[in-house]
Amino acid sequence: MHLVKCALISIVSLNALSACAVSDNYNFSAQPQTSSPPPTKSVDQTKFEVKPYHSEPEASPKVSQAPAKEIAKSHDKNVPFWGDKTSQPVETNPAQLKEGQFIWKGDAIPSGPTVVVVSIPEQRAYVYRNGIRIGVSSASTGKAGHDTPTGVFTVLQKDQRHHSKTYNNAPMPFTERLTWDGVALHAGGLPGYPSSHGCIHLPSEFARLLFNASPMGMTVVIANKTKDPEQVVHPAQLAPVDAKKGSMVKVPRLSAKEDFRWQPEKSPDGPLSIVMSGADRRVLVFRNGVEIGRAKLALQQAKRKLGTHAYIMQDGWGTTESPILTGVQAHRWLAVGIPGHAGEDKRPLNTAEGKGISLPPAFAKSLYSILVPGTTLLVTDAPVIEQKTTGVALNIINADSPT
């Protein structure tokens, strides 16, 4: 009688189901399974005992209105749409994101290793590319009795239009499978607390953006306060874990006697990103996801605000002096219209904005020598270096590829 009742409910509200099929077999047409799957393992070979779940699907989620035309191209109109359609402004404090909200500009980064950190205590998912956070979203992990496993995982399979076999063909859009037991990242219900059957539910548009940006084999770290370091449970601006191994990344601060640190040999090639923080009075340089240098930033006016800007270096040269190194020609930089600052898109960098800002000469010379088209310059008044508190600061965004 119980099964009959569930079947009747599924016929009436099939498309509203958001249950997470942790014990699903996953029918991936692109990569069909021809043999029994290997046992669940994380990257560090830690085994997670995930119980098979047979409880009923969750209550029907509140379905948003049909997405905009540009979103509809990738979203199936026959399945629910969870969460916001667009990103919040980059100044939004991630800790203040409500259920269904997110911050994202990750599709604009040219390239670089990508890693996702899921914080179970925060019910947040953080995305980093080239060592810098490019997105953060509200999330919903496993409820009591269906706990989401913690550890280091890789994306095993991807299916944009996956449906659950276990839960009455319930839609699980933009599925990125993490374990053979069925734990995955995918679009789903977001009530503001743990509600899934083990998976990580994300807003539909955020799940789409992440799905398109993430490669197969991408590292995903799921953290809980009972066993993981605070800097992973409460991630900040810079990636707290290595994008390839998922191991902790800890870069020492500059000492009182150090004006800069320059270690290009740590990452000889790859995409280059520069972060300038007015709050920290620091400039940090990342190449292929690895920090290769940092320096003290001097401002002539102590209370000067840098604002929030993202630039990308273009081919060719400017007509004025470089804002990075005195006495040499400026490169050509164009602004990127990040969420909340769309009006700045394609605006040339005014080198006058660099006046009153100085770097150690040796550091500036070394940095200038490795700049190439596609290099990203990110400017913010917010702190980016790890803080002692658990507060989350302004989201930093990378730039578009050269035009």
pLDDT given at position 166? 65
Same domain, 172 and 224: yes
Calpha distance 388→11 (Å, rounded): 52
Q: pLDDT > 70: what percent of the chain?
A: 76
pLDDT given at position 61? 37
Name the DSSP class of 69.
Answer: H
Q: In this predicted model, what pLDDT tens digit does every residue of 298-321 receive, in sequence order?
A: 998 877 889 888 999 999 998 888
Return left, alpha or beta for 235; rule: phi > 0 is left, psi -120 to 50 is alpha, else beta: beta
- The reply to whether 363 falls in a domain is yes
How much helix, strand and coil, in percent to the nearest 5, is found in the chain? 15, 25, 60
pLDDT given at position 72? 73
Q: In this predicted model, what pLDDT tens digit does every residue of 176-235 receive, in sequence order?
A: 999 988 899 999 999 999 999 999 999 999 999 999 999 999 999 999 998 899 999 999
- The reply to whether 299 falls in a domain is yes
State the pLDDT confidence band at 135, using cuts at 50, 70 and 90: very high
The neighbour count for residue 307, using CB atoms within 10 Å, is 12
Count Cα neighbours of 196 within 13 Å in the Cβ-side half-sphere: 30
Q: pLDDT > 90: what percent of the chain?
A: 56
- DSSP-based three-state secondary structure for 142: strand
**Vertex 64 angle, CA 58 and 66, to 5°:** 130
pLDDT given at position 26? 35
How many structural domains does the chain have? 2
pLDDT given at position 20? 53
Q: Which of 250, 282, 312 is the last residue of a domain?
A: 250
Q: Is 381 exposed, middle or buried (0-12, 13-18, 19+ CB in 10 A)?
A: middle
> What is the secondary structure of 241-310 as a DSSP string?
B-TTT--B--PPPPPTT-SEEE-GGGS-SS-EEEEEETTTTEEEEEETTEEEEEEE-EESSTT-----EE
Same domain, 137 and 109: yes
Calpha distance 51→352 (Å, rounded): 61
Same domain, 197 and 267: no
Same domain, 268 and 339: yes
Same domain, 151 and 85: yes
**pLDDT mean over 25-53:** 37
State the pLDDT confidence band at 31, using cuts at 50, 70 and 90: very low
Same domain, 297 and 246: no
- DSSP-based three-state secondary structure for 342: helix
Q: Which residue has the higher pLDDT, 344 or 1?
A: 344
Q: In this predicted model, what pLDDT tens digit does every residue of 349-379 receive, in sequence order?
A: 887 777 788 999 999 999 999 999 999 998 9
Return left, alpha or beta for 395; rule: phi > 0 is left, psi -120 to 50 is alpha, else beta: beta
- The reply to whether 210 falls in a domain is yes
pLDDT given at position 167? 64
CA separation, residue 23 to residues 154, 164, 165 (Å) = 18, 9, 9
- The reply to whether 231 falls in a domain is yes
CA 274 to chain centre: 18
pLDDT given at position 387? 64
Nearest Cα residue to 17 out of 62, 74, 64, 57: 57
**pLDDT mean over 19-39:** 40
> For 9-23, what is the HEC assignment?
HHHHHHHHCCCCCCC
Calpha distance 268→34 (Å, rounded): 41
Residue 75 sits in a domain whose CATH number is 2.40.440.10
Same domain, 277 and 325: yes
Read off the tokens for 154: 């890789």
pLDDT given at position 4? 41
Same domain, 234 and 304: no
Same domain, 240 and 272: no
Calpha distance 42→46 (Å, rounded): 5
Calpha distance 111→214 (Å, rounded): 11
Q: Which helix (H) or strand (E) holds 361?
A: helix 361-370
pLDDT given at position 9? 39
Same domain, 242 and 295: no
Q: In this predicted model, what pLDDT tens digit does every residue of 277-296 receive, in sequence order?
A: 999 999 999 999 999 999 99
Residue 309 sits in a domain whose CATH number is 2.40.440
Calpha distance 309→364 (Å, rounded): 20
Calpha distance 341→276 (Å, rounded): 17
- Whole-model pTM? 0.79
- The reply to whether 21 falls in a domain is no
Check pLDDT > 80 for residue 111: no
- The reply to whether 72 falls in a domain is yes
pLDDT given at position 226? 87
Same domain, 85 and 156: yes
* Matching residue, tokens 């026959």: 78
- The reply to whether 2 falls in a domain is no
Do the bridges between strand 272-277 and strand 376-380 make them parallel or antiparallel, or are there none, so unpaired?
parallel
Q: Which of 226, 250, 274 is the last residue of a domain?
A: 250
- The reply to whether 222 falls in a domain is yes
Q: In this predicted model, what pLDDT tens digit does every residue of 234-268 receive, in sequence order?
A: 999 999 999 999 999 989 999 999 999 999 999 99
Q: Which domain holds residue 185?
A: 40-46+67-250
Check pLDDT > 50 for residue 124: yes
Q: Which of 194, 222, 250 is the last residue of a domain?
A: 250
> What is the secondary structure of 184-202 as a DSSP string?
EEEE----SS--BSSSEEE
State the pLDDT confidence band at 108, using cuts at 50, 70 and 90: low
Calpha distance 395→393 (Å, rounded): 6
Same domain, 215 and 127: yes
Q: In this predicted model, what pLDDT tens digit does every residue of 55-93 receive, in sequence order?
A: 333 333 333 333 466 677 789 888 899 999 999 998 899
